[in-house]
Amino acid sequence: MIKRFKSDIVIRYENDYGYALVVITNQKNEIIENLMLGFSNDFNSKYKNKLLDIQDLNRLINISEFIDIK
């Protein structure tokens, strides 16, 4: 977590899949952390194969391929 004036930046690293979630909020709390964990689990489950395929590539990732995640 990075502290900022009147806001927190919460980062959740997913080293196994090669990405990180970044959330800017007015206050880090358990609700934010649980939502980030749930999102990560759903995202990893849905896009596991694609994430593993692109993990070792040195290129920009077209995020439109993940557009249907909510």
Per-residue pLDDT of the chain (70 residues), as tens digits, is 556 678 888 999 998 888 889 999 988 899 999 999 999 999 999 989 888 888 766 666 666 777 776 5
Q: How far are the Cα atoms of 8, 22, 39, 66 from residue 3, in angstroms, in the given order? A: 5, 13, 22, 29
Q: What is the distance between the alpha carbons of residues 11 and 37, in angstroms, rounded to a whole number?
A: 11
Give the closest residue to 47 by CA, choosing from 66, 22, 63, 70.
66
Tell me the whole-structure pTM to 2 decimals: 0.71
